[in-house]
Structure 1
């Protein structure tokens, strides 16, 4: 009994390690999916690879969870809600995302010019990417000459645009706000589904309204985590162990959702209809592990470090791997058919190691050369602004 009642390490309600774990899992899953497409070497269970693109849904969920968590914590603790200053919020989001993104965009533009030269289509493509509206135009979304994975930034940008209005409303009236977000996704889904099989559907199933319910799950997860994470029960070992066990059960549920997604005959149709069960399972993983036993410090530091690299990794991995394989033809190959299509397993193993190593190394370099310096500049700017207001 003494062991079961011993006080565990406190829950970090400001930045749970579970959020870093899910971020690493999501970005790694997307990366494994894209690298597997080029090397054909499986490093994960096949159904995780085939359904790897749905890791994007988890990143959307995490964005809502992490951004709304300070509001959820203030609401749970009965404290004043954070001040809603749209201009300040937009500035911080821009400083966080745009420098690394524009550096990546410059590289992808150089590749596009090298491969095909300048064209009017490329100019329009570039304009859409510069303004984060690429998903709104077919030629910049599914026909882009630039970095194809950056369509997700359109979803994030639209979420950031409404967040300063959405956050205080959800903190004060969570049920109506979350319900309306889910209704928007449900109505949009029912409107888009009949168009499956047409060219229009490819443009529709990942648009912002199709993620509104995902955002609702992320914000609801923040509210639940904040409310439960401050109870006296968190100081007892047995219930915290129980939450960790529930987190493992949620992982099994998540695995089942990925297996169903990977085995769907109509993949993109199933992805739209299965989006909510998938993110509910991911949200359960996030909340249960967040309320469970706190990982040892080395594990937390490793997760935090890998999570910090996730944005650069997401931006660079696919474009870099395609460049290495087709432009540099590495590992070395000749002819028109890549060796993986000819069943060359030795080449596939070598390619997989090379692509992962290159993606990770470039991610580390971009984090320290682009993301971290601008994060420091943002912190200095924020400190000067607060000091000016204090005077």
Structure 2
């Protein structure tokens, strides 16, 4: 029996995207914090001791947490293309045509306030007082690379940056924003062909890296290798809208997509575990990117179509709040963790070896508490005092200019 579903998924705001973004950002945060505190996540299971399972070791999750940066980039492709996917499904003649000026203004309002504030704070309170550069040329390469979002092109501003290592993703995002209006129009007209070509470019780049074996650190996250993640997100948006807007929906659709989502989640976990065991982490990351990206995209689309109880796990007040601050949380968490430990030595420690290397578990837990408080405090402050007020000002100013030009 089929029935019209009055509670069909919202195709304007995909509720589970909040939780997907929040959890992905938290897993990246866990990886960077694990690098500094060395706390092994292990759950004691004495009730399973009779069958030989005294504990469950979860270290594979933070060990490979950097893989979830790809999940965030895939989500970016999904969210950017979602309005186009709705237009395609509605068969609008202008589907895929994006007002480039409005698009770039909105992207600027989204990322520039927090990004430039971060650069300004680090420049004023870290770079100028301590001057960690070997030469003025290195400084200008680093600074100008970040100001023009080209810092992923240069070793000094990418691998050797003295600003904030986590900001490399903004370089990739900005480069993708630059070509997105053209990609969106192409994807709207021929989605499978566009998806195949974008994945083909990434696959060819992977093949070149595997054969040539250059400096993988420098190349594994460049835009050609990340095109597959964006393409998967864009195709997932189109599939989601098409499935969500079916006029008649099967009674058990929610359970079916919930089962598919859990299967995708299991697949993601298996690939993440495999990456943790890879003898060459950079090469392993390159080789699993295409299947992992596809699983991330399928997971998001299936979650958005799943039963309400599963969707509620990814869409609730906590997830919405974490999603709201996730951008600034991503920007600040690693930088603050490193500065607190190595520059300011907070919590206090002495000697050449930090306490995590000497087995001081009390210090490890205190340090973990401090860096969480610092990261979340900075994220909340920057989101509500910098990002949102500045974004409103940028968008309001843009509207006034358009109104003045049209009058």
The TM-score, its normalising length taken from structure 2, stands at 0.89
Partner secondary structure for residue 232 of structure 1 = coil
2:256 is the alignment partner of 1:242: yes
Structure 1 residues 92 and 351, CA, compared in 2 at 3 Å: closer, same or farther?
same
Gaps of 5+ in 1: none
Cα offset, 1:371, TM superposition? 0.9
- Taking the aligned partners of 2:148 and 2:405, their CA distance within structure 1 comes to 31
Of 111-120 and 56-65, deviating more is: 111-120
Cα offset, 1:247, TM superposition? 1.1
Cα offset, 1:179, TM superposition? 1.2
Structure 1 residues 374 and 42, CA, compared in 2 at 3 Å: closer, same or farther?
farther
Cα offset, 1:380, TM superposition? 2.3
**What are the equivalent positions in structure 2 for 1:273-312 lying under 5 Å apart?**
273-294=287-308, 295-296=311-312, 299-312=315-328
Paired position in structure 2 for 1:71: 84
- The answer as to whether partners of 2:3 and 2:248 remain within 8 angstroms in 1 is no
- State the Cα deviation string for residues 112-147 of structure 1 (Å, max 9, x = none): 333335641122211111111111001111111110
Structure 1 residues 388 and 303, CA, compared in 2 at 3 Å: closer, same or farther?
farther
- The answer as to whether partners of 1:134 and 1:151 remain within 8 angstroms in 2 is yes
Paired position in structure 1 for 2:30: 32
Paired position in structure 1 for 2:194: 177
- Taking the aligned partners of 1:103 and 1:224, their CA distance within structure 2 comes to 37
Paired position in structure 2 for 1:87: 101
Match among 44, 68, 88 for residue 55 of structure 1? 68
Aligned residues: 386
- The answer as to whether partners of 2:105 and 2:395 remain within 8 angstroms in 1 is no
Partner secondary structure for residue 245 of structure 2 = coil
- State the Cα deviation string for residues 190-244 of structure 1 (Å, max 9, x = none): 1112333x5x32211111101111111111101111110101344x652112212
- The answer as to whether partners of 1:96 and 1:374 remain within 8 angstroms in 2 is no
Match among 246, 260, 278 for residue 274 of structure 2? 260
- The answer as to whether partners of 2:97 and 2:181 remain within 8 angstroms in 1 is no
Of 293-302 and 168-177, deviating more is: 293-302
Paired position in structure 1 for 2:379: 363
- The answer as to whether partners of 1:243 and 1:288 remain within 8 angstroms in 2 is yes
- Taking the aligned partners of 2:4 and 2:61, their CA distance within structure 1 comes to 38
- Taking the aligned partners of 2:335 and 2:362, their CA distance within structure 1 comes to 23
- State the Cα deviation string for residues 18-38 of structure 1 (Å, max 9, x = none): 222221121111111001111
Cα offset, 1:87, TM superposition? 2.2
Paired position in structure 2 for 1:12: 10
2:210 is the alignment partner of 1:193: yes
- The answer as to whether partners of 2:149 and 2:175 remain within 8 angstroms in 1 is no
Partner secondary structure for residue 22 of structure 1 = helix
Paired position in structure 2 for 1:114: 129
Of 118-127 and 380-389, deviating more is: 380-389
Structure 1 residues 43 and 217, CA, compared in 2 at 3 Å: closer, same or farther?
same
Structure 1 residues 311 and 153, CA, compared in 2 at 3 Å: closer, same or farther?
same
- Taking the aligned partners of 1:353 and 1:190, their CA distance within structure 2 comes to 43
Partner secondary structure for residue 316 of structure 2 = helix
Structure 1 residues 25 and 297, CA, compared in 2 at 3 Å: closer, same or farther?
closer
Cα offset, 1:375, TM superposition? 2.3
- Taking the aligned partners of 1:160 and 1:72, their CA distance within structure 2 comes to 17
Provide the aligned C-alpha RMSD in A.
2.2
Cα offset, 1:182, TM superposition? 1.0
- Taking the aligned partners of 1:339 and 1:266, their CA distance within structure 2 comes to 28
- Taking the aligned partners of 1:363 and 1:113, their CA distance within structure 2 comes to 24
Gaps of 5+ in 2: 43-57
Match among 6, 15, 20 for residue 22 of structure 1? 20
Structure 1 residues 117 and 41, CA, compared in 2 at 3 Å: closer, same or farther?
closer
Paired position in structure 1 for 2:170: 153
Paired position in structure 1 for 2:46: none
Paired position in structure 1 for 2:247: 232
Partner secondary structure for residue 14 of structure 1 = coil
Cα offset, 1:253, TM superposition? 1.1
Match among 346, 354, 375 for residue 330 of structure 1? 346
